[in-house]
Amino acid sequence: MILLHILWFACATLVFGLNIPIPLSSPPSAPLISQSLISFSIEQDRWTDWVGATTRNQFFFNVLVNLNQLTGAPPRIRIGADSEDHTNFNQAVQTTQTVFRAITATVPYPEALNITVGDAFYNAAQFLPPNTRVTWGLNLGQNNLTAAFLEAKSIIKAFSSPAIRNSGIVLDAIEIGNEADLYLSNGARPRTYSIPQYVKEWTAFATSTSSAIGISSSSSTKFWGIAFAGSSHSTSGFSPQSVINQGLLSSTAGSAIATVSQHHYSGSFCSGSKGLLQDLMTKSTIRGNLSAFSPDITAVRAKGLDYVFGETNSYACHGAPGVSNTAGAALWTLDYLLFATQIGISRVFFHEGIGYKYNLIQPVTLTRSTLDGSPLPSPLPPHVQPQYYGAVIAAEAIGTSGSTHAIELVINNAQVAGYAFYEGTRLVRAVFINSSAFLKSSANRTHVHLDFEFTGTGAVAPTVISVKRLAIGHADDTSGLTWGGESYETSDGRVSGSLAVEIDCVSAGVDIAATEVVSVSFS
């Protein structure tokens, strides 16, 4: 059922508000937005819990398909991360064998210290939505070439099987090692570990893998390169610039790198200090966190390579309680995704692990708290967390055209970000985010009126707007959001409720409240 709130204000500007100039046609500088901008990185120790071990995990499938339906392409999936470097292969293993680190209040759902997989582990990719493109990580951390080789062989066997091929699921890339820039501090290598050693090891592993499974500069499966936790943003220390300078791309295997992957978190909860929700949401800190990578992106793109955030989320070590798991984080997700497109990041892979605080998706029933590990009074079935709404709104803004371009609008306000979306060159939508945190402890909620002023010529100015709102009680709520009146907090992960759209004259503008997202479709 569609519920239309039709507010027939006279078509004249009644309220004086913030004036938002919007170009009528897409400026030449507007980047093309990938239909799979919103992608996911999955901690591989519990991969078969995500996707399903012997039958499909229907909840995970549904929440991926929701995004697929909105953009016309499924999210891409990278499987790997910390446990990638603790995985060995054993042909005899039917069910993944895992040894987990100790459970603590800071990290209630730790990564596995040791994981042993067999063919079934990789075959489970058949349960992903049709046409999903997958990147899989190999173990470099333990420096065991045999382990990496056997994993690669099993991966290629899985992706050649009818179950995966017939579903159009493809192996996009292989990643070799997770965050090798941390090996010198996490014990995987001596303290003296350096870029030349890394380039030498990567090249040896990639050469062996490419001969095992046929990766080359002309194959459809390529390598993801680098996947570092941080970057010096310069040619000294660990960075894309450094490894490129030191010849990573020069070998035959290196010539099969098509994408550079960077990892990033805005802060860390590793030692239990959580930070403020408002800091995460703030427009300037989002821009600060992303723009720091601009020199890297320039260097990578100059080599003709794609650049992605292959693993990212709010706060490292699975998120901060009361910050990463809240409605405010949904606004962070949306602004982070959209601003990333403006500086040359093609895709953003949100990192997810079973029970992590910063998940968009909790795909299995949980029995202990994600916040402190305490036993839950009753089991918590699969569900989406607030950040998922940020992904849905971005997906809807991108749409299914395959030719969507977007620009950030110039808004002279420290708390409001806005983006305009064009299909081809035609203005179709805009999204506005007020990232001022309205908390349970806040006194009152203020609204500001936005007026639209179309700029440029060559296209007929729209006259009607359809408005959807992300309704949030408080920035520190952890559930109960609705997007255009509808909820994704359902037992099967599919949308439910009555769609609420406000239709009005363009000249009426819109109101936006603190901690709110408003999307405007123009016609």
Ligand X SMILES: *[C@@H]1O[C@H](CO)[C@@H](O)[C@H](O)[C@H]1NC(C)=O
Residue numbers of the site for ligand X (CB under 6 A)?
A: 18, 88-89, 97, 114, 116, 144, 146-147, 150, 266-267, 279-280, 285, 288-289, 292, 413, 415-416, 434, 436, 443-444, 446, 448, 512, 514
Q: How far is residue 207's CA from residue 149's CA, in Å, rounded to a whole number?
A: 10
Q: Which residue number, 67 or 176, has a Cβ lying nearer to ligand X?
A: 176
Q: How far is residue 436's CA from residue 474's CA, in Å, rounded to a whole number?
A: 11
Shortest separation between residue 284's beta carbon and ligand X, angstroms: 7
Q: How far is residue 315's CA from residue 302's CA, in Å, rounded to a whole number?
A: 30
Q: Which residue number, 64 or 297, has a Cβ lying nearer to ligand X?
A: 297
Q: How far is residue 497's CA from residue 1's CA, in Å, rounded to a whole number?
A: 8
Shortest separation between residue 299's beta carbon and ligand X, angstroms: 19
* Contact criterion met (CB below 8 Å) for 141 and 178: yes
Shortest separation between residue 115's beta carbon and ligand X, angstroms: 8
Q: Which residue number, 259 or 434, has a Cβ lying nearer to ligand X?
A: 434
Q: What are phi and psi of 172, to 5 degrees?
A: -75, -45
Helix (H) or strand (E) holding 396: helix 387-398
Q: What is the DSSP letter of 12?
A: S
Shortest separation between residue 280's beta carbon and ligand X, angstroms: 4
Shortest separation between residue 274's beta carbon and ligand X, angstroms: 11
Question: For the chain, how long is the longest CA-to-CA vector?
Answer: 73
Nearest partner of 445 among 511, 377, 354, 495, judged by Cα: 511
Q: What is the DSSP letter of 28?
A: T
Shortest separation between residue 436's beta carbon and ligand X, angstroms: 4
Q: Which residue number, 256 or 281, has a Cβ lying nearer to ligand X?
A: 281
Q: Which residue number, 112 or 300, has a Cβ lying nearer to ligand X?
A: 112
Q: Which residue number, 18 or 439, has a Cβ lying nearer to ligand X?
A: 18
* Shortest-Cβ-distance residue relative to ligand X: 288
Q: Which residue number, 280 or 481, has a Cβ lying nearer to ligand X?
A: 280
Q: Where are the beta strands (DSSP E) in 255-369?
A: 257-268, 306-316, 348-352, 361-362, 366-368
Q: Please, which residues bridge with residue 468 across strands?
A: 519
Shortest separation between residue 150's beta carbon and ligand X, angstroms: 6
